Amino acid sequence: MIRDLTDTTTTGISKTLVRLRNEVGAMALGRVLTLVVVVEDIDAGHAIDVANQASRQHPCRIVVVIPGDRRGKNRLDAQIRLGGDAGASEIVVLRLYGALANHGPSVVVPLLLPDSPIVAWWPGEAPADVGQDPIGAMAQRRITDAAQHRNPRIILKKRAASYAPGDTDLSWTRLTRWRGLLAAALDQPPYEPITSAVVSGAPDSPSSDLLAAWLQRRLKVPVHRVSTPRGSGISSVRLDRKSGPIDLVRPGDVVATLSQAGQPDRRISLPRRELPECLADELRRLDPDDAYEDALLHGLEALQPVRLTAAAAAKAGKAPDPAESRRLAARLGRDESAQDASAMISAPPAPEHAETEQVRAATVRKLAGKRTPREKQADKARKQAAPASSPPSSSSSAATKKGATPKAATQKAATKRAATTASATTTATAKKAAVKKATTKKATAKRAPATKATS
C-alpha cells in the first residue's frame, strides 16, 4: 500500500499512519528502532530498496529524508508505504523544499518511534563530522560508507579526526568474513607467531586500508600494502611465519583459496558482501564498535605507504600470485566434483516408496542384528555367482590340455558327474534289494519247521 501526501505537515503524516494502521491491522506494530536515511533524490530509490531488505531482519520504521530544491517556498511532500510495498517495516519518505530543506531534524522528530533507538544512515556522501550533524546528534549509531567518496583515504582520515562512539562505516562491515577466516587460520597448528603481513587491495578500496590497520593493531607486526587495479577490492592477505606463510587469496569475486603449512589447501566461498547484508549487520548491534575504533584511530596512522604493485610483489615473492590461486581453485573444484560424482555412483539406491510400518520393522531388524531383505538378496546373488567363479575341475583341465574348447570340457565334465551319480544310485538300489531278499529268505526258513510239526 502506497499513499502520497502533497504539501502536508507532520501532523497530517502521523494521522495518516494511524488511519492506515487501523485499516491494515497490526502490520505497523513490533518495530525495534527508527532508521533515518539521509539521501539525495537521485539515489533515493536504491536506498529505500536496501533499507527495506535490511528491515526484514530488523523490523523498524524507516524515515527517508530527501533535501530538495532550496529555492522557492517551503513545502513538505510525503509518501507512506505499508504492507507488501514496505516488507517488514513502514516507510515514510519526506521531500523538503525551500528553507525547510535545512531543518530536517525538526521534521523527523515527530515521526520517531517512542522509546526506541535511532540509527542514522548516509548511503552517499556524508558530512565531514557526522557526530555534529543535527540528525547524527540524535542517533545512537551513525552509519557511513567511505567507498562512496571520491578519495576514500582522505575521508577515513577525517572520520578518525572526528570520531565519536557510535560511528561506523560499511567499509569496515565488508571485512567481517575476511577477519573471521584469518582469525580461524591462526587457531590451527602450527601455533607460531606472525612476523609480518601483506595486504593486496585496490587504491580506491577503504576496506583494504582498514584490514591492514586491524592486522597491524592485533598482530603488532609491520603490515605492508600492495596495490591492485582499481575496482578489484581486496585481493589477498599473506601472514608470514617461520614454518611458512598463510595465504588467503580471492582472485575473483566469489571463490577464495586458503593455503598454509601443515594443512591441506582449501577452496572457500568468499563473495563480496551486498549492501543490504552489510546494513542489516550494522543494525544488529547498537553499542560502539571497539575494534573499528582501534583500527581507525591507531591502525591507519601506523600503515606504511604503498610502494609495490601486486604483480611486482608476487614476482618478488612478497605477496601471493592471483593466477596461481586461480589455478588452485579450479583444481580443487574439479577434485570436489569428482568426489561428489563418485559418492553418487557408489551410493545404494533408496526405495521409491516406504510405509511407516516398513521403516519401523526395518529399524527393529537392524537393531536386532538381523539381515535386511536387501542384504539377504545380495548374499544369495554372491552364492549363486560363487560356483561360476570356482576353479575348473581336473577333467575340464585335462580336456582343455588335449585341445578341447572350454565349453566342450565343461559339458564332458558334467556328463561324467551325471554318470557317476547314476552308478552310485544303481549300486545303492541293488544293495538294498539284496538285503531285503536275504531277510525274506531267513524269515521263511524259520517258519518252515513250525508248519511241518503242525501238519
Q: Fill in the amino acid letter for 378.
A: A
Please give the order of strands across the beta sheet that includes 33-38.
2-5, 75-81, 90-97, 60-67, 33-38, 118-121, 141-144, 167-169
* Residue 183 DSSP code: H
Mean pLDDT, range 110-137, rounded to an integer: 93
> Residue 81: what are its φ and ψ, rounded to 5°?
-120, 130
Q: How many CB atoms lie within 10 A of CB 43?
A: 14
pLDDT at 405: 46
The verdict on pTM exceeding 0.85 is no
pLDDT band at 304 (very low <50, low <70, confident <90, very high): confident
pLDDT at 455: 31
> Residue 289: what are its φ and ψ, rounded to 5°?
-95, 100
Say yes or no to pLDDT of 206 above 90: yes
E-assigned strand segments in 135-250:
141-144, 167-169, 196-201, 223-227, 234-240, 246-249
Q: What is the pLDDT of residues 220-273, one digit of tens each?
A: 999 999 999 998 999 999 999 999 999 999 988 899 999 998 889 999 999 999
- How far apart are the C-alpha atoms of 176 and 271, rounded to whole Å? 12
Selected residue with higher pLDDT from 384 and 137: 137
Are the CB atoms for 35 and 63 separated by under 8 Å? yes
290-323 burial, b for 16+ CB within 10 Å, e for fewer?
eebbebbeebbeebeebebebbebbeeebbbbbe
Q: What is the pLDDT of residues 407-446, one digit of tens each?
A: 444 555 555 555 555 454 455 555 555 555 555 554 444 4
- How far apart are the C-alpha atoms of 324 and 314, rounded to whole Å? 10
91's enclosing H/E stretch is strand 90-97
pLDDT at 305: 82
Are the CB atoms for 17 and 97 separated by under 8 Å? no
Say yes or no to pLDDT of 341 above 80: no
pLDDT at 359: 77
pLDDT at 348: 59
392 backbone φψ class: left, alpha, beta (φ>0; ψ -120 to 50): beta
Q: How far is CA 15 from CA 5, 20, 80, 446, in A?
A: 12, 9, 12, 132
Are the CB atoms for 196 and 224 separated by under 8 Å? yes
| Mean pLDDT taken over the chain | 83
- How far apart are the C-alpha atoms of 300 and 216, rounded to whole Å? 9
Query: Nearest-CA neighbor of 306 among 230, 242, 250, 251?
Result: 230
pLDDT band at 143 (very low <50, low <70, confident <90, very high): very high
Say yes or no to pLDDT of 358 above 80: no
